[in-house]
Amino acid sequence: MALVVLIHLAVAGILVLFRRPLGRWAFVVGALGPASTLLWAALNGSRVLSGDPATESFTWVASLDLTIAFRVDAYSLLFLLVVAGIGLPIFLYSQSYFSPSSRATNFAATMTLFAGSMVGLVAADHLLALFVFWELTTITSYLLIGYYDQKAEARSAALHAALVTGGGGLAMLGGIVLLAGEAGTYLISEITANPPVGSNVLTVAWALILLGAVTKSAQFPFHAWLPGAMAAPTPASAFLHSATMVKAGIFLVGRLGFAGVAAADWWQPAVFTIGFITMVLGGWRALRQYDLKLLLAFGTVSQLGFMFLLLGSGIPALAFGGLAILVGHALFKATLFLSVGAIDHETGTRDLRRLSGLRRSMPRLFWVTTAAALSMTAMPLTLGFAAKEAAFDGLLAESVWLIAAAATASTLTVAYTARFMFGAFGPAVPGTEPATGKRLASRSALLWAPALLAVMSVGIGLLPTLVLPIVNGAAKVVSGVAKAGKLVIWPGFVPALAWSLASLTAGLLLAWRRQLVDRTTEAVGRVAERLPSADTAYRRSIPALLRFADRSSGLLQNGSLPAYIAIILMVAVTAPTVAAIGESPVLVTPPGGSMLEWILGALIVGFAVALPFVRRRFAVVILLGGVGYGIAALYSVFGGPDLTLTQLLVETLAVALFAFVLRHLPATFSRPATARLPRLAVALAVGAFVFFAGLVVNGARSSETISDTLVADSVPEAAGSNVVNVILVDFRAFDTLGEITVLVAAALGAAGLVIPVIRDARSRT
Partner 1 sequence: MSLITLAVAATLFAVGTYLILQRMLSRIIIGLGLMSHGANLLIMLSGTGPATPPIVDGSPSPVVADPLPQAMVLTAIVITFGITAFLLALALRSYLLTGSDAVEDDLEDKRIAHSHDRSSMDVQEMSE
Crossing angle of helices 2-17/102-123, nearest 10°? 170
Distance between CA atoms of residues 629 and 650, nearest Å:
10
User: Residue 68: which H helix or E strand, with range?
Assistant: strand 66-72
Interaction of residue 688 with partner 1, rule CB under 8 A: yes
Query: Which residues, 400 to 459, sit near partner 1 by CB under 8 A?
Result: none
Interaction of residue 151 with partner 1, rule CB under 8 A: no
Among 463, 594, 667, 733, binds partner 1 (CB under 8 A): 594
In 3D space, the residue among 559, 757, 570 whose CA is nearest the CA of residue 679 turns out to be 570
Which listed range, 4-12, 322-330, 400-408, 635-643, lies at the site for partner 1 (CB under 8 A)?
A: 635-643
Residue closer to partner 1, measured from CB, 381 or 643: 643
Distance between CA atoms of residues 51 and 402, nearest Å:
32
Among 502, 509, 682, 696, binds partner 1 (CB under 8 A): 682
Residue 483: C-alpha distances to residues 192, 464, 575, 655 (Å) = 19, 14, 55, 86
CB of 573 to partner 1, least distance (A): 10
Residue closer to partner 1, measured from CB, 482 or 757: 757
The beta strand positions in 200-323, using DSSP E, are none
Which listed range, 44-52, 276-284, 302-310, 601-609, lies at the site for partner 1 (CB under 8 A)?
A: 601-609
User: Residue 557: which H helix or E strand, with range?
Assistant: none
Residue closer to partner 1, measured from CB, 6 or 546: 546
Among 439, 664, 667, 668, binds partner 1 (CB under 8 A): 664
* Residue 124, φ and ψ in degrees, nearest 5: -70, 140
Interaction of residue 611 with partner 1, rule CB under 8 A: yes
Distance between CA atoms of residues 72 and 76, nearest Å:
5
Taking residues 485 to 514 in sequence order and writing x for each that binds partner 1 by CB under 8 A, - otherwise, the string is ------------------------------
Which listed range, 235-243, 282-290, 374-382, 651-659, lies at the site for partner 1 (CB under 8 A)?
A: 651-659
Residue closer to partner 1, measured from CB, 509 or 728: 728
Query: Please, are residues 80 and 247 in contact by the beta-carbon 8 Å criterion?
Result: no
CB of 576 to partner 1, least distance (A): 14
Taking residues 735 to 764 in sequence order and writing x for each that binds partner 1 by CB under 8 A, - otherwise, the string is xx--x--xx--xx-xxx-xx--xx-xx---
Interaction of residue 569 with partner 1, rule CB under 8 A: yes
CB of 77 to partner 1, least distance (A): 40
Query: Which residues, 350 to 409, sit near partner 1 by CB under 8 A?
Result: none
Query: Please, are residues 295 and 289 in contact by the beta-carbon 8 Å criterion?
Result: yes
Interaction of residue 51 with partner 1, rule CB under 8 A: no
**Peptide bond before residue 221 is cis, with ω within 30 degrees of 0:** yes
Interaction of residue 652 with partner 1, rule CB under 8 A: no
Among 703, 705, 763, 765, binds partner 1 (CB under 8 A): 705
Which listed range, 234-242, 269-277, 389-397, 713-721, lies at the site for partner 1 (CB under 8 A)?
A: 713-721
Q: Give the count of residues interacting with partner 1 (CB under 8 A).
A: 115
Other CB atoms within a 10 A radius of the CB of residue 612 amount to: 14
Among 441, 494, 697, 737, binds partner 1 (CB under 8 A): 697
Residue 34: C-alpha distances to residues 39, 90, 102, 737 (Å) = 9, 10, 22, 55
Q: How many residues does the chain have?
A: 765
User: Residue 371: which H helix or E strand, with range?
Assistant: helix 363-376
Longest dimension (CA), the chain: 109
Residue closer to partner 1, measured from CB, 466 or 619: 619
Query: Which residues, 716 to 735, sit near partner 1 by CB under 8 A?
Result: 721-724, 727-728, 732, 735
Among 466, 508, 662, 696, binds partner 1 (CB under 8 A): 662
Among 204, 429, 686, 696, binds partner 1 (CB under 8 A): 686
Which listed range, 250-258, 279-287, 476-484, 684-692, lies at the site for partner 1 (CB under 8 A)?
A: 684-692
Other CB atoms within a 10 A radius of the CB of residue 108 amount to: 31
Other CB atoms within a 10 A radius of the CB of residue 308 amount to: 31
CB of 217 to partner 1, least distance (A): 23
Query: Which residues, 536 to 565, sit near partner 1 by CB under 8 A?
Result: 539, 542-543, 546-547, 550, 553-555, 557-562, 565
Q: Which residues are CB-contacts of 434 (< 8 A; sequence separation ≥ 6)?
A: 354, 355, 356, 357, 427, 428
Interaction of residue 668 with partner 1, rule CB under 8 A: no
Interaction of residue 567 with partner 1, rule CB under 8 A: no
Residue closer to partner 1, measured from CB, 465 or 722: 722
Distance between CA atoms of residues 690 and 495, nearest Å:
75
Q: What secondary structure does DSSP assign to 165-218, as a single string?
A: HHHHHHHHHHHHHHHHHHHT--BHHHHHHS---S-HHHHHHHHHHHHHHHHHTT
Residue closer to partner 1, measured from CB, 463 or 755: 755
